[in-house]
Structure 1
Amino acid sequence: GGASLLFGMQFLEALFIGIIFAATSVSISVEVLRATGKLQTKAGTAILGAAVVDDILAVIVLSIFTTFSHEGGKSGLTNNFFLNLLFEALYFVFVWLVYKFIAPKFMQLAEKINVSYSVVIASLILSLGMAYIAELVGLSAVVGAFFGGLAIRQTKQEAEVNSSVSAIGYSVFIPTFFVNIGLSMTFASIGQDFLFIVVMTVLGVLSKYWAGKYSSEIFGLKPLEGSLVGAGMVSRGEVALIVAQIGIAHHLFPKDIYSSLILVIILTTVLSPIMLNHYIRKDEAQN
């Protein structure tokens, strides 16, 4: 965010760019850790736990930001800003109720219905319903979908839902999502934004790496384990892409730097497994 201000962004635009790079995509790191047998180590557990908390905080900050930066008009159930804030706060109470009580009961009820894929259909109803309510109270739909997924994750039917929804996602929605990003990109301004891309990539890598490394060492991990955690946290991946898509749709940052931001996100996603593999090989050499 601070670096964005130096490149002439307005304060809210710079703040939103900071939110884009706040999240962590752990999917690639998990695959690298699993393939090398490091997933169940202290570093692997720290990466998984930190990434989940990171994403939850990023989604909450995103929802708060979109509330305060709405471009005029009605955002929420009423025209009263403070009443809308109350409804948004109540939404998170509703999320807790769904997580603790509603989701487990709802999925159990769906399991008893003699209909093909009843559990999967119920999970989609729950998550899309939460997304709709989030949008209704003035938050982003991605907030509701995210917490809907978290609620379903802790139910006994999670494995069945995960298997079926993954098939739908990888065959339809995920390719469509990336095609949409590709259609929105242009390389016309990348040459003039070269310095911006370099600076943001370096800061994007070092900020996550140093934060992961030194905070891990504070909590008792060895320096090399801390480096593993830092490297595993660098990737922004699909989480940052989703936030960037929300930003461009709501005009929360300049359109002419959209392609450059996407390129920076891709670079951090590519660099993370390279760094992770480097420190894994170093750890294996020492042991």
Structure 2
Amino acid sequence: MLSNVFSHLPPGTWIDIWPSQSALLATTPEAEYGPFILTGVLLTLIVIYTMSKLGGELSKRLELPPVLGELVGGVVVGISALHLLVFPETGATAADSVLMSGLQWLGHLDATAATHIFQSQSEVISVLAELGVMVLLFEIGLESDLRELGKVGYQAAVVAIVGVVVPLALGTIGLIALFHVPTIPAVFAGAALTATSIGITSKVLSELGHLKSTEGQIIVGAAVIDDVLGIIVLAVVASLAKTGEVDLLNVVYLIVSASAFLLGAILLGKVINQSFVAIATQLQTRGALLIPAISFALVMAVLANTIHLEAILGAFAAGLVLDETDQRKELDQQVMPVADILVPIFFVTVGAKADLSVLNPAVAENRAGLIIATFLIAVAILGKVVTGWAVFGQPGINRLAIGVGMVPRGEVGLVFAGIGSASGVLDRPLEAGIIVMVILTTFLAPPLLQRALKTQSGSAPATMPAAD
């Protein structure tokens, strides 16, 4: 998802921040490296699927959300431990990858060839991970109910706005007042606190059977709106970091395009559903239902990406639209195997990219970052938990679950840290503090959300009342 988010920056920023990417395009690996790239991808997938099942099964037996096990499995094989799954964006090279080192030895490859293969293999896995999270959000959209989601739409909007404003304000003001951080870096770090990982939250809700509950619908709706707001905040702080001023025209464009896209998808839902059913009923080969549905999700993802939104929002909108079709249950069953193949790649890679070395207090330069991280973690949790108390008109609602559901930052928070570091806005302690905050909120949120949901009477999902 990193490349998608980078594309939302003002013109010129992406190339200025990541010049190595444009250089990479000009150095495409030679065709002779193709078999080695394929071998590297296949070995990496073996590692991902093995750790995904081992971690998921262990978490399940410990009565924890399986997604937590997938994240931890990623940490074990990632940059923090075994170095079986590492990526260039974390600063790793081909020499840091155990798989690449083994491949280099077996194929008698030189360092240049190994670098080409490593970069290409990493890009393939990153693309598969992005496809995984798109399929996940499409599946979540199918499992959601557009009418029920509409009932809590205003509640979700309030939760999302509070979840952006409170952490941004507390984080920025606190860093300036307590740590004497300059204004622009403080705003950048405060912006990193606004993120919410919709992928992680929605997966936990689905696994626990709470996706259709009132709390689940509010959390998913708020996370979608939060993602849109996060893109806008990212554009603002990136402009601020680059030029010292905000590009108001770009901000207005993002707001209008995001609103038009989501509302347009919902309003055109009936027309799209009729067309989808008409096409699916005419097809007589395998995949007559699944292929048109996935194609529609990809089209919506492309449209979202084209207007500078997240591709996953397009996939989610596609799922919401197709949820209204008569064949939704059958489609849901057919999407599950696709999700089982692609979604673990996303969660394991998120864990693999988490560099836990920043948690080591024995390293002198980490100590200042850990002190700042303590403050950021407190704000990150408090700033999202309070969103549960922004819900009104819902007696008996589990406010704690809603707040905790907004806590995980995931890969979105790492995007802020990466852009801030590459642009020179963040110094090492502040960058380390943000990374620690992202890691801990990502790993703590699943078990905390599970515990919060179990506080409901009977530990059963509180489904929304039926429409009159």
> What TM-score do the two structures reach when normalised by structure 1?
0.71
- Residue 221 of structure 2 corresponds to residue 49 of structure 1: no
Coordinate RMSD, CA, aligned? 3.9
- Residue 194 of structure 2 corresponds to residue 18 of structure 1: yes
Structure 2 residue aligned with 1:269 = 446
Gaps of 5+ in 1: 73-79
> Does the Cα contact within 8 Å between 2:301 and 2:315 map onto a contact in 1?
yes
Provide the C-alpha distance between the structure 1 equivalents of 2:261 and 2:283, rounded to a whole number of angstroms: 29
Instruction: After TM superposition, give the deviation of residue 68 of structure 1 in Å.
Output: 4.3
- Residue 285 of structure 2 corresponds to residue 118 of structure 1: no
Provide the C-alpha distance between the structure 2 equivalents of 1:174 and 1:55, rounded to a whole number of angstroms: 18
Provide the C-alpha distance between the structure 2 equivalents of 1:219 and 1:107, rounded to a whole number of angstroms: 38
Structure 1 residue aligned with 2:347 = 178
**20-29 vs 136-145, greater mean Cα deviation:** 20-29
> Does the Cα contact within 8 Å between 2:297 and 2:315 map onto a contact in 1?
yes
Instruction: After TM superposition, give the deviation of residue 151 of structure 1 in Å.
Output: 1.8
Amino acid aligned to 2:349: N
Provide the C-alpha distance between the structure 2 equivalents of 1:201 and 1:22, rounded to a whole number of angstroms: 19
Alignment of 1:90-239 (within 5 A): 90-92=260-262, 94-171=264-341, 173-190=342-359, 191=361, 192=367, 193-212=369-388, 214-215=389-390, 218-219=392-393, 221=395, 225-226=396-397, 228-236=398-406
Provide the C-alpha distance between the structure 1 equivalents of 2:272 and 2:331, rounded to a whole number of angstroms: 16
Amino acid aligned to 1:52: V
> Residues 177-232 of structure 1: CA distance to partner in whole angstroms, max 9, x if unpaired?
123223322122124344444444444444444432x445x5252xxx34x33235
1:61 to 213, 229, 249: 229
Instruction: After TM superposition, give the deviation of residue 118 of structure 1 in Å.
Output: 1.8
Provide the C-alpha distance between the structure 2 equivalents of 1:241 and 1:105, rounded to a whole number of angstroms: 36
Instruction: Provide the aligned length of Structure 1 versus Structure 2.
Output: 261
How many percent of aligned residue pairs carry the same amino acid?
16
Amino acid aligned to 1:243: V
> What TM-score do the two structures reach when normalised by structure 2?
0.47
Amino acid aligned to 2:448: L
Amino acid aligned to 1:273: Q
Instruction: After TM superposition, give the deviation of residue 64 of structure 1 in Å.
Output: 3.0
> Does the Cα contact within 8 Å between 2:197 and 2:410 map onto a contact in 1?
no
Instruction: After TM superposition, give the deviation of residue 281 of structure 1 in Å.
Output: 6.7
Describe the SS at the equivalent of 1:188. Answer: helix
> Does the Cα contact within 8 Å between 1:23 and 1:54 map onto a contact in 2?
no
Larger Rg: 2
